Structure 1
């Protein structure tokens, strides 16, 4: 803690591990099992509890509540943890909970994410890199969000839902089933509305790759996703199309969002 800058009004409990160049602002409360890596900045009024680790250069803004007990009535105080990666931006009033014994015991947040004001990540979620949760998004327990997912404001993600890499969820959507990689989903009871073309182009997908994904999506939506995916999986595909097929055939018993 010798290199850390800690405001005199902050409370850092014995046992907390504070890395070099950490800044802890006014009225923050840091629990005894917390680990803050190099360059972490807590603006003010941040509370971090439980067995929680925060990666390098992550910035947490006022009134965020990190690592408090899961909002799960089955939780009985068992030893579980929250792991937050590097260079995240966690804005005002964000809440992130650790795992539960029944869900694997750990909630993981990847690197370089943006969690806007009032968003929530529940117990046992696995969140990839460069994920953006816009204001007041609620991600329920046991969800998996792949890399580069964007979830629009005031959206809700049902527990156990998987959202594939590069998918975009429009604002005010309620997502109750799995979302294909690179999919575009929107609606009060969300439905699949094609591909996330903006996201694909931003990540450098070629015209050929996008055309292949469009063709694959058209074939998949002719009936049951898994049946069509099994039939198509034996054929030769590009990397993105293969990723979509692997996602569909992955370990999940949930249905998929489809076009209206």
Structure 2
């Protein structure tokens, strides 16, 4: 099925539209843009390139996708944005391309929900099945794992990492790495507030897995020792838990301090 382009939209020569793509009123699609089958652009969306968008994505309206990075070091070099399949981008979402110094690409995975006014800055890497609520914002070079929830007005500092299955509460400002499974709440800057137990249950985690993650959380945040002591305790727990091994690997890597 051929792409359907509204008469008021502008699709520049060189753009590649897959089968069943819909381009709504007053959209602009740049020449170095590739849009996969079944993706729809609602009214007033702009997509600049180089940008590659997968299948079955939905851009509701007024989205600005693939714009230049908001970085003073950017000098017009060729950088790109890559978006996977089945994502939803609500009104006024903005996603920027990468920078040469940050790897050259911003990447968003599959089946994510980006609600109104979300911003994903240059060189961010977002996994699969995440929900970013209204006005959630990622600064540059942020890495987000799978099944992460950012609540409304949450903000993440540049170069931070958010581990898989983490939950960041409304209005929390994150200026350190958030390990997998951890829940963060607002208090000036975001502070850990337990694990995302309810989210884990919804995704099929059994009682034993959740209990091991809780023990790991207590070792890292409640026991009161140094980070090295916490690492040693995590290593003991990790012997019986793949989830805790994942958490320990996260703690042992990264450029930003751990949020504690």
State TM-score, norm by structure 1: 0.95
CA drift at 1:230: 4.7
Structure 1 position 123 matched with structure 2 position 126: no
Runs of 4+ in 1 over 4 A off after TM superposition: none
1:130 counterpart SS class: coil
Post-superposition offset of 1:227? 4.6
SS of the equivalent of 2:67 reads: coil
Following superposition, the deviation at residue 231 of structure 1 comes to: 5.6
Post-superposition shift, 1:213?
A: 1.1
Given candidates 232, 240, 245, the residue that maps to 1:242 is: 245
In the TM superposition, what is the alpha-carbon distance from 1:100 to its structure 2 partner? Answer: 0.1
Residue 232 of structure 2 is aligned to residue 233 of structure 1: no
Measured against aligned partners, the alpha-carbon deviations of 1:50-92 in whole angstroms (never above 9, x if no partner) come to: 2001110000011100011100011000000000110100011
CA contact (8 A) 2:27 2:46 kept: yes
Which runs of 5 or more structure 2 residues have no equivalent in the other structure? Answer: none
**TM-score normalised to structure 2 length:** 0.95
Q: How many residues align?
A: 256
1:215-259 Cα shifts (integer Å, max 9, x gaps): 111122333335522564365131111111111112x1321222x
Q: CA RMSD in A?
A: 1.3
Contact 1:225 1:256 in 2 (8 A): no
Q: Which residue of 2 aligns with 1:111?
A: 110
Indicate the residue corresponding to 1:18 in structure 2.
17
Q: Aligned residue for 2:192? A: 192
Partners of 1:253 and 1:92 lie apart in 2 by 33
